[in-house]
Amino acid sequence: MIWAPWKFRLVYNFLGLQTRMNFGQVREAVLGRLARAEGRPVLAPPFGGPKGAEIRERLRKAGLPETGMESLRAGKNGPALERPSTVGWVYWGMTHHMVRGKLHATASDGREKAQKQTQEYHVLASIGAYETIIEHFNTRSFDRKDVSSLADRIAHGPVEQAGPPTPSFLDLQRRLAAGGIRVGFDGGKVGFTLAAPGGTILKLADPVPHPWLNGVMLTEVGAIPDLGTYRALAAANVQVERVLASHAPGSLTTRSRESLKRCVREFFDELVRAEDDVHLKAKTAFSGRSVIAPGGNLKADQIGIPDEIAWTLFSPLVTRELGDGPAVAGRTARAAAKLDEIMARSWVILDRAPAIMPTSLVAFHPVRIPEKVIRIHPLVCMAINGDFDGDQVAVFLPITEAGQREAGELLSVAGHIRRDPALIRWFRPTQDMVWGLADLSLKPGGMGKIAEAAGVEVGTPEGIVTKDSLLAAAQSVMAQKGVDAAIEAMDQLMRLGFAEAKKSGASLSPFVGSSLPRLAPPATDDPEEWLAHGDELMELIGSLKDYASADMGPQLLAVRSGARGNLRQLQRIMGPCVVKGFNEKLVPVKNGYRDGLTGREMIECVRGWRQGLFECIMGFDLMRAAYGVNKPEPPRGFNVFARAMRSASPGIVFARAAAAGETDLLTDPDSRLFVGMKPYR
């Protein structure tokens, strides 16, 4: 735990310290404590701060514990915490994140505040949440012409799902028409034919080859001024007209004609893009967004949403049931009571982008809170790949009875687990909860308390409760008593684990690993010898089981229980490692973070850190693999839309279909959903 100097105090989670490698802040805290005691600044230049032995000696002379750790209480007059904690003063840099600037919500009158849906389609389709897909991408799409009246219609009575076609289909239809391809929808099938462009026409000053049809010359295109490539095409066309009219030299005429051909190709490339325009996309009404924060008092099927989002999303429903628009507009006590009543029986869908896991979208009963953050149950964090460092989520209100019913049946925590029992692993206790339960399992009577919370006996495969043994217990409860009982058991275990971790006082020692025997370092710079030396240190750490040790006990318990971290990370804090430097060669880093890297060692480490960060940000495939999720597969059918959806050049597919006069009978699920029809069961 680290305490800040001025208006407020900060408690730093020790589990993150060993995995994020920010050991310098721990030493800084102790030096701040020492400076306060000595009455003068402690100078610690980069790569030249005081070494551990010097700090210990100065702590002793200042009358402070030589370990740099002190005993704390839970509150001024509360009980003493069980373990000593690292305490001190640090300089904190605060990034300027203001939640009020990240809170957005709209019913159906603010497109700029609406939340976008794209990748969510694949997750919902894999789950079979077809009603939700139709709501998100059609019924509540801001691209529908009637969206502005949606809130008023809800206020006057139940609304049904909008029928086909979807706005995405209509937009594709408009774009293809500009390229001379007519797409006709008659309610059950889609026909493709070649036809003159509709609407405003741009006559080409000189015929050019059709980008999608070999042997066909193009003499006109439809005007789509909102596309940047169309504006460039129009300008190139004017240039050719001028050149031809002025009888300019042949070389200039040739360049102008080539420029026109290029602009036509680029215009057609933008008309239909493989990565975007043959897939559903929408900005969705009745949606909101904010930063997430933990909601420890919530039930597992609840989410806390800000008062402003609650009123924005639910006001039409409150007006319908209360029959008093002015009371709702004034947010009277009577209207607020009705709002809370409606929210308690309704579902909202939380969406954590990027939506690449089956649990990226989870439905909850909303609870109104007088804050600007969205509060989520801690057990949901792993399932949505979310944490509390500024992460944001979107929430959506299903407005149809079918959408509400599906949200509860398929997208709630219980619905996800009933559909796929293996998903329970993403809703089990993690991190601090696991650490606290592991710590409790070492105490007299601790296993009895854990069994009481779980409703079954919990195993101790490492002599302690572990993350995996907690999962096994949850699976046992689910097999015996059902999904709801398993969720309740995990909630009880979570609360018990948090309580134990909170009163433990567990911390990271500023001299972590000082009790370890010293290993003689290699006498050479051979990376293989240093790698073996690091492995020996790691195995030495791994052989220890003294969980009560103030030196390394909390860290060993975290690793062995599966709460967080691994032996390699502990080894890199305390001793050497080998990294791949800028020249792609293995380079020994002879110091651990505890003793401080040299400037050269820091530079050599940078490459690996940068590469890891890039893979974390860009590696959606790695994240999918971690969650056991395959990349979305394109449709396998051979109808027109199915072929286009898996093609790198969908425009060519549509053009050839139009030339042949094909009809798509909409038999595969993706094609039907794209048009706005539910798949065949």
In a domain, 8, yes or no: no
Residues 27 and 153 placed together within one structural domain of the fold = no
Confidence of residue 387 (pLDDT cuts 50, 70, 90): confident
* Residue 70 pLDDT > 80: yes
Confidence of residue 554 (pLDDT cuts 50, 70, 90): very high
**pLDDT (mean) for 250-257:** 92
Q: What percentage of residues in the chain have a pLDDT greater than 90?
A: 77
In a domain, 628, yes or no: no
Residues 216 and 344 placed together within one structural domain of the fold = no
Residues 235 and 264 placed together within one structural domain of the fold = yes
- Give strand pairing partners of 117: 282
In a domain, 391, yes or no: yes
pLDDT digits (tens, 9 = 90+) for 255-271: 999 999 999 999 999 99
Pairing of strands 663-664, 190-194: antiparallel
Residues 225 and 305 placed together within one structural domain of the fold = no
Confidence of residue 624 (pLDDT cuts 50, 70, 90): low
pLDDT digits (tens, 9 = 90+) for 641-651: 999 999 999 99
Let me know: does 87 contact 72? Beta carbons within 8 Å: yes
In angstroms, the CA 406 to CA 269 distance is: 38
Q: Where are the alpha helices (DSSP H) in 139-194?
A: 150-156, 167-178
Mean residue pLDDT of the chain comes to 91
Residue 245 is inside which H or E element, if any? helix 228-245
Confidence of residue 5 (pLDDT cuts 50, 70, 90): very low
Domain count for the chain, please give it. 4
pLDDT digits (tens, 9 = 90+) for 340-383: 999 999 999 999 988 888 899 999 999 999 999 999 999 999 99
**Token code pair at residue 616:** 């974390």
In angstroms, the CA 323 to CA 363 distance is: 28
pLDDT digits (tens, 9 = 90+) for 207-227: 999 999 999 999 999 999 999
**Closest listed residue to residue 3, CA positions, set 68, 72, 87:** 87
Q: Which of 331-335, 482-486, 633-637 has the lowest mean pLDDT?
A: 633-637
In a domain, 72, yes or no: yes
Q: Where are the alpha helices (DSSP H) in 353-482?
A: 381-384, 401-406, 413-419, 431-441, 446-454, 467-481
In angstroms, the CA 364 to CA 376 distance is: 9
* Residue 8 pLDDT > 60: no
Q: What is the pLDDT of residue 643?
A: 96
Residues 359 and 487 placed together within one structural domain of the fold = no
Question: Which position has the token pair 């289909």?
Answer: 169
From 63, 86, 109, the end of a domain falls on 86
Residues 220 and 296 placed together within one structural domain of the fold = no
In angstroms, the CA 419 to CA 476 distance is: 17
In a domain, 93, yes or no: no
From 487, 504, 521, the end of a domain falls on 504
pLDDT digits (tens, 9 = 90+) for 402-426: 999 999 999 999 999 999 999 999 9
In angstroms, the CA 524 to CA 8 distance is: 49
- The two most distant CA atoms of the chain are separated, in Å, by 99
Residues 74 and 34 placed together within one structural domain of the fold = yes
Burial class (CB in 10 A: 0-12, 13-18, 19+), 636: exposed
In a domain, 514, yes or no: no
**Token code pair at residue 262:** 């290029």
**Token code pair at residue 293:** 């924060």
Residue 200 makes CB contacts below 8 A (sequence gap 6+) with 222, 223
Let me know: does 434 contact 562? Beta carbons within 8 Å: yes
Confidence of residue 611 (pLDDT cuts 50, 70, 90): low
Residues 300 and 390 placed together within one structural domain of the fold = yes
* Residue 96 pLDDT > 70: no
* Residue 544 pLDDT > 60: yes
Let me know: does 83 contact 501? Beta carbons within 8 Å: no
In a domain, 668, yes or no: no
In a domain, 568, yes or no: no
Report helix, strand or coil for 522: coil
* Residue 140 pLDDT > 50: yes
Residues 413 and 436 placed together within one structural domain of the fold = no
Cis? peptide before 576, omega within 30° of 0: no
In angstroms, the CA 271 to CA 263 distance is: 12
What type of residue is 314? F
From 55, 86, 117, the end of a domain falls on 86
Q: Residue 175 sits in which domain range?
A: 169-271
DSSP letters for 361-406: EEEEEEEEESSSSEEE-GGGHHHHT--SSS-EEEEE---SHHHHHH
Residues 127 and 220 placed together within one structural domain of the fold = no
Residues 336 and 419 placed together within one structural domain of the fold = yes
Residues 305 and 420 placed together within one structural domain of the fold = yes
Q: What is the pLDDT of residue 6?
A: 45
